Amino acid sequence: MPVFLYKATNPSQTVVEGTITANSPYEARSDLRQQGLRVVSMVEQGTRTRIRQMSETPGRCSAKFVSVFNELATLLGTGIPLLDAIQSVSQQQPRRVHLALTQLRDRVGSGVSLTEAMSEQPEMFEVLCIRMTEVGENSGTLDTTLRHWAEYKGRSIQFRDKVTTALTYPMFVAVVGVVVTIFLMTFVMPMLLESLAESGQPLPLPTRIAKFGSDLFVSHGWELGIGVGLLVLFTLVFLRSERGRRFWHHLLLRLPLFGMLARKQAISRLAFLIATLTKSGIPFLQALELAAKSSENLVIRDALDAAADAVRSGRDIAPAFEKTGVFPMSVTQVFSVGQESGHLDDMLHRLASDYDRQVSQVTDRLATVLEPVLILCLAFFVGFILFATVLPILEAGNVL
């Protein structure tokens, strides 16, 4: 008969841990309820280590799960039981999300807590989502914590979609410009310049430049294409490595305009995340560690880890952030004033909103400026080729 490790609370709200023997997790939970205990978590002996290791795997929750957890929080807030809420939300979902929710429902129905059921699917649920669910289950505010996580994840996805949308047209113009330039240099220019070269007349400088580029594309086009492909492949492989990612993140934060955008966007995310976690009942130090794990920029992740170590050793929050040298003075002042006033989460929410607004404004302006700049660049290349072609014809006419 299996042995289950459990953690529960008695009527006096004291945490009790122990083991119980039963045929199934459901039977074990029923026996503990008859003893007056409220089960917080339960796992079969011998599987706790595996679940803990799996829960540390950084899964990626898609945008579909944001709406799923929003609906789930709403249903739980109205008093609907967890199993019925999961069953209701799983309907009309894509196959991948439906299968994940079905597995959650089956595991919770067998007596496993929602946190442990999510930990068994690390490829679907990230560590942050699992930890916030654990806090919600332990504190009895599962609907609130799920709503907080959905709000945080929704803001991140919304920002990413906005940046992608803003840069779609400029990238399209850039790709079209490259394709048009290659077509003109490899097909149009050779035919136009062939007759001019046969005339024996000296070609003007713009025409010689255009002819050199055209000959280079025609004679060594495959070699250039293979070289560019290998360079792109090497860059992608390098950026996927730890050293490459760290190099790119350092470089990104130092770029004149994009570095400011990346820094403010990362600070906005971690400010909103820390505020959300502390409001959900997670201690500040633990919230800081979770924010470090969820940070995509390795430089900021290292800075958060260093700040967490400094706070753990007894230093105040503001000096710990200031010593890292990554965060602006305004951010350290927010942590300083928030710590002294006891309203750190509210001030972090305001900081996140302010940085979101600034990043949104700069992104919109950048996209507005990039469009005409790229169009002008495309017009310059086409105009140069046209000028290089027409100029010798005009000079020949003047000679005649």
| Distance from C-alpha of 365 to C-alpha of 349, rounded to nearest angstrom | 25
| Distance from C-alpha of 46 to C-alpha of 365, rounded to nearest angstrom | 56
**Domain coordinates of the chain in residue numbers?**
1-46, 55-125, 142-400
Between β-strands 38-44 and 15-21, what pairing exists: parallel, antiparallel or unpaired? unpaired
Give 142-400's CATH code, choosing from 1.20.81.30, 3.30.470.10, 1.50.10.20, 3.40.50.620: 1.20.81.30
Query: Which candidate, 136, 82, 237, 180, places its Cα nearest to that of 386?
Result: 180
Residue 153: per-residue pLDDT: 79
In tens digits, the chain (400 residues) has pLDDT values of 566 777 777 877 777 777 777 776 667 777 887 888 877 666 665 444 333 433 344 445 556 678 888 888 888 888 888 888 888 888 878 888 888 888 888 888 888 888 888 888 877 887 778 877 877 787 777 888 888 788 877 777 777 777 777 778 778 877 887 888 778 778 777 777 776 666 666 777 888 887 888 888 788 878 888 988 999 999 999 988 888 888 988 898 888 888 888 888 888 888 888 887 787 777 888 888 888 887 888 888 888 888 888 888 888 888 888 888 888 888 888 888 887 787 888 888 888 888 888 888 887 787 788 778 888 887 888 788 778 777 777 766 554 4
**Residue 217 CB burial class (10 angstroms; 0-12, 13-18, ≥19):** buried
| Residue 253 · residue 263 · CB < 8 Å | yes
| Residue 303 · residue 266 · CB < 8 Å | no
* CA neighbours closer than 13 Å in the CB half-sphere of residue 385: 23
| Distance from C-alpha of 172 to C-alpha of 174, rounded to nearest angstrom | 5
Residues contacting 26, CB < 8 A, separation 6+: 109, 110, 111
| Residue 203 · residue 214 · CB < 8 Å | no
| Distance from C-alpha of 131 to C-alpha of 145, rounded to nearest angstrom | 10
C-beta contacts of 62-67 below 8 A and 24+ residues apart:
62/97, 63/154, 63/157, 64/93, 64/94, 64/97, 65/97, 65/124, 65/125, 65/129, 65/153, 66/150, 66/153, 66/154, 66/157, 67/150
Helix H or strand E segment including 286: helix 284-294
**Angle at the Cα of 104 from the Cα atoms of 32 and 54, rounded to 5 degrees:** 90
| Distance from C-alpha of 88 to C-alpha of 59, rounded to nearest angstrom | 24
| Residue 6 · residue 20 · CB < 8 Å | yes
Q: Positive or negative CA dihedral for 379, 384, 385, 386?
A: positive
* CA neighbours closer than 13 Å in the CB half-sphere of residue 12: 2
Query: CA 6 → CA 16, 37, 47, 50, 298, distances in Å?
Result: 8, 10, 12, 16, 37
pTM above 0.75, yes or no: no
Strand-by-strand arrangement of the 38-44 sheet: 15-21, 3-9, 38-44
> CATH number of the domain at 1-46, please?
3.10.20
Assigned CATH topology for domain 55-125: Receptor-associated Protein (1.20.81)
Residue 398: per-residue pLDDT: 56
Residue 396: per-residue pLDDT: 61
Structural tokens at position 176: 């079209």
Residue 55: per-residue pLDDT: 37
Query: Which candidate, 73, 180, 191, 90, places its Cα nearest to that of 132?
Result: 73
Q: DSSP readout, 326-368?
A: -S-HHHHHHHHHHHHHT-HHHHHHHHHHHHHHHHHHHHHHHHH
CA torsion angle 358 360 361 362 (round to 10)? 80
| Distance from C-alpha of 237 to C-alpha of 241, rounded to nearest angstrom | 7
Residue 58: per-residue pLDDT: 43
**Fold match, 1-46 / 142-400:** no
Residue 201: per-residue pLDDT: 67
